[in-house]
Structure 1
Amino acid sequence: MSEASNDQYYVPHLAKWPIVGSIGLFVTFMGAIQALNSQTSITPWLMFVGIGIILWMMFGWFGDVIKESEEKLYSTQVDTSFRMGMIWFIFSEVMFFAAFFGALFYARTFSVPWLGGEGIGLATNETLWSGYEGVWPTNGPADLNGRFEIIDPYHLPLVNTLLLLASSVTITIAHHALRANNRKQTIIWLIATVLLGAVFIFFQAEEYVLAYRDFNLKLSSGIYGSTFFMLTGFHGLHVTLGAIMIAIITIRVIKGHFRPESHFGFEAVAWYWHFVDVVWLGLFIFVYIL
């Protein structure tokens, strides 16, 4: 195959992966719906089959893209399309977390004070929740799941903050090393980034164990518990996915993929990782400290 030129836009061949992904999503959600609404033993397995189909689609589709990229079939126009797609993807992730932060801010600023008797909530407080004080953190007027303790922000959360900040530095150094065509340094700093991400995930799991076992802080602990685990849990999932992506990029660098002048796959993962780090800073401030 000939390399793509700047005045040619690469048109991919007919691929089975879009329809495979659609089938996988359909099976996954049908299995999940059935698992939530029935007692049959087959429905959880149906969901896992769907997840397996999605994973097969991802491996196959990304494999095709990597192969085509290494064969230099993509022109600068395609590279621009990839960049725009990644920008929009990260924007969708920003909106995803914005909704969760919005729920947190709404509860703290409006719902809890209102139930505590502020403004038009005075009648509600006197009639339904007499004696309830709208202070944060709270498990709600009904005292759901009993009293709990909050996580000390200057213990494990601070350690995790330092880990993610350090990982932003290491992946940036790896990027500069790649641009300088220093593959050995690139690999070393990428491995360091993966390790920092893995340690972050380990400490977050330890934090969850402490919250459930020692502090009685659970997902069922009212509005504070639900927003705490919703925000930190989804962020932890993003860190896990980001660390997996960086590990895959590391393997690709070891196999000789990417060039100093063309390495968008590397850049896309780096963008995602920096986004995850910025979100954590917001979590550390608004969930743990304030």
Structure 2
Amino acid sequence: MILFMVSEVMFFFAFFWAFFTSSLTPVFNIGGVWPPIGIEVISPWGLPLLNTILLLSSGATVTWSHHAIVGGLKQEAETALYLTLTFAVYFTTFQFLEYIEAPFSISDGVYGSTFFMATG
């Protein structure tokens, strides 16, 4: 199990490494600028911030549910788990909307591919 978790962390780290390497040293193929010409950057204060809050909240509620299970509080555990599932449905819906409304796609070079691979 620990090997799986470490491999997932390294996998996720690799996407951010690719993104930061590409942004700090843009190559001539993309015009030598970052973000590449023609790419409109998504504001981090809209849906990305809301999705971050939903993810952190779902982490807190699933931890609450776990502690309630350990403490033998079945009703409280169910409430926390339902709240976690509600956050998951909202997060998935908002992530889908963010992908649909993104002004770029996965085929738009290194910016689009690293964005969609790291967030999806």
**TM-score clears 0.5:** yes
Q: What is the CA distance between 1:175 and its match in structure 2? A: 1.3
Q: Distance in 1 between matches of 2:86 and 2:5?
A: 23
- State the TM-score, normalizing by the size of structure 2: 0.89
Q: Does 1:176 align with 2:91?
A: no
Question: Aligned match of 1:225 in 104, 112, 115?
Answer: 112
Q: Distance in 1 between matches of 2:114 and 2:58?
A: 26
Q: What is the CA distance between 1:148 and its match in structure 2? A: 3.1
Q: Match of 1:104, as an amino acid?
A: F
Structure 1 unaligned blocks of 5 or more: 1-85, 116-127, 140-146, 234-290
Q: Match of 2:2, as an amino acid?
A: I
Q: Distance in 2 between matches of 1:227 and 1:92?
A: 18
> Pairwise mapping of residues 264-283 of structure 1 onto structure 2 (< 5 A)?
none
Q: Match of 1:200, as an amino acid?
A: F
- State the TM-score, normalizing by the size of structure 1: 0.39
Question: Aligned match of 1:109 in 24, 39, 46?
Answer: 24
Q: Distance in 1 between matches of 2:91 and 2:4?
A: 24
Larger Rg: 1
Q: Does 1:137 align with 2:38?
A: no
Q: Distance in 2 between matches of 1:160 and 1:220?
A: 24
Structure 1 vs Structure 2 CA RMSD: 1.8
Q: Does 1:154 align with 2:45?
A: yes
Aligned length: 120
Higher relative contact order (CA 8 A, sep 6+): 2
Q: Distance in 1 between matches of 2:34 and 2:88?
A: 31
> Pairwise mapping of residues 1-290 of structure 1 onto structure 2 (< 5 A)?
86-110=1-25, 112=26, 114-115=27-28, 132=31, 134-138=32-36, 147-211=38-102, 215=103, 217-233=104-120
Q: What is the CA distance between 1:232 and its match in structure 2? A: 1.1
